[in-house]
Each structure stands twice: as C-alpha cells, then as structure tokens.
Amino acid sequence: DTLSKQLAAETQKRQRAEMLCLQEQLSAMARKCEELLVENENHKACDQDQLAILQDVLETVTVEKDELQAQLQTQNSGSALRRGVTWQYYMDGRWEEFTPEANEHMLQAYLDYVREIPGTQFVTISSGGVDRQVDFKLMQQMHLRTGKT
C-alpha cells in the first residue's frame, strides 16, 4: 500500500514535470511564431515601402519621358518653322507673308500652343498695319477691324 502510494506520487511528479516541460516548449513555440509574424509584417511593410518608392520613381520617369517627348516635338516643329517657313495672312485675294517680327511672334505663340500651355489657342498679331486674331485650334485668322476670317 505504501509502495503504491509512493509509485502514484512519483508518477504524478513525473507527469507534472513532463507537463511543465511541454508547456515551456509550447510557450517557446508560441514566442517563435509571434516573432515570425512580426518579422513577416516587417517584411510586408518593407515590401510595401519599396513598392511605393518604385511606383514614385516610375511616375517621375513617366512624367520626365512625356516632357522630353513634348520638348522633342516642339524642337522638331520649331526647327521646321525656322527653316524658312513663314506665316501668312489672306488679304485682297492673295496670301501675304507676315513681317519678320510678326512671323517670330506667330512662331512663338504657335509653339506655346503646341506645348499645350493654357490660354494659347488664340493670339493677336499685328502685321501690315492690321490686327488679326489667330485661332490655332481651327487654324483660322480673323481681321479684328472687319471681322472677316
């Protein structure tokens, strides 16, 4: 009887020790899982930060590319116009060239319009003693005194 009580007590002691050991192992595993979750979240946050940076860089590069394309288009337009092409107006049944100063003004106004600068669709040009309003979108000129296009 005493021996069986001692055996039962020893068995309970061993089982408690095994339970404590298992609890410690489970706690250690739970801590490791938490650490891994935090590390995973940190990686996700890092990945999100890197993704945001890459998206910003892509947007900047796209804007710069578009600006460079617009500049190239403008340079190509400007160089073609500067190679002897002149702006003209229709008067008394024939086409007349603008004065060099008015031609340069027209060229600059047209390049601004091509660059899509707001408010550049219309320009008023004086040449040959006459003021004309030019509509670059419609490619029409209107004599401001007579209203003729």
Q: At what angle do helices 2-82 and 100-114 cross, to 10 degrees?
A: 160
Tell me the H-state helices in the chain.
Answer: 2-82, 100-114
Q: Which residues pair with 132 in a beta bridge?
A: 125, 143
Q: Has residue 72 got a pLDDT over 70?
A: no
Residues in the chain: 149
Higher-pLDDT residue of 19, 77: 19
pLDDT for residue 119: 92
Q: Report the mean per-residue pLDDT for the chain.
A: 80
What do you get for the CA distance between the two ends of the chain, in Å? 126
Q: Of 106, 118, 45, which is closest to residue 77 (Cα–Cα)?
A: 106
pLDDT for residue 134: 93
pLDDT for residue 3: 72
DSSP assignment letter at 121: S
Q: Has residue 80 got a pLDDT over 50?
A: no
Q: Has residue 135 got a pLDDT over 90?
A: yes
